[in-house]
């Protein structure tokens, strides 16, 4: 390891006071389990889970993602046509979309 990288590594062992002196504000952001003044890891995990569910759990956001097929080049519209044994209906019909209900999955 080169000297530049070695100088960036802080070894503290069990004495966190060395780290608190070297990095200002560290104690304020570390969780209680690591000797800091911030919230406990379980509490932080719960808050992050709630934020995630608030953002993504209320609706199926993937239904809002659409591709603008009018911009797809003609050369890329049916790439599997070269394979004679390929059944083109395996990938579904072009432009046909079926919304599945939760109990259909």
pLDDT digits (tens, 9 = 90+) for 30-41: 999 988 999 999
pTM: 0.46
Distances (CA, A) of 71 to 27, 75, 88: 53, 11, 21
For residue 68, being part of any structural domain is answered with no
Q: Whole-number mean pLDDT of the chain?
A: 82
For residue 67, being part of any structural domain is answered with no
Q: Report pLDDT for 42.
A: 95
Q: Report pLDDT for 4.
A: 94
- Assess contact for 18 and 12: CB atoms under 8 A: yes
Domain that holds residue 88: 74-104
For 55-86, how does the pLDDT look when each residue is reduced to its tens digit (9 = 90+)?
A: 877 667 677 788 887 887 777 776 666 777 77
Same domain, 52 and 95: no
Q: How many domains does the chain have?
A: 2
Same domain, 51 and 7: yes
Same domain, 50 and 26: yes
């Amino acid at each position: 390891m080169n000297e530049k990288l070695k100088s960036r590594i802080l070894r503290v062992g069990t004495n966190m006071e060395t780290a608190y002196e070297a990095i200002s504000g560290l104690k304020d952001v570390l969780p209680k389990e690591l000797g800091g003044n911030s919230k406990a890891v379980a509490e932080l995990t719960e808050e992050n889970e709630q934020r995630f569910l608030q953002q993504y759990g209320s609706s199926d956001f993937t239904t809002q993602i659409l591709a603008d097929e009018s911009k797809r080049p003609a050369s890329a519209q049916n790439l599997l046509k070269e394979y004679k044994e390929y059944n083109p209906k395996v990938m579904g019909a072009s432009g046909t979309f079926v919304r599945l209900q939760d109990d259909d999955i």
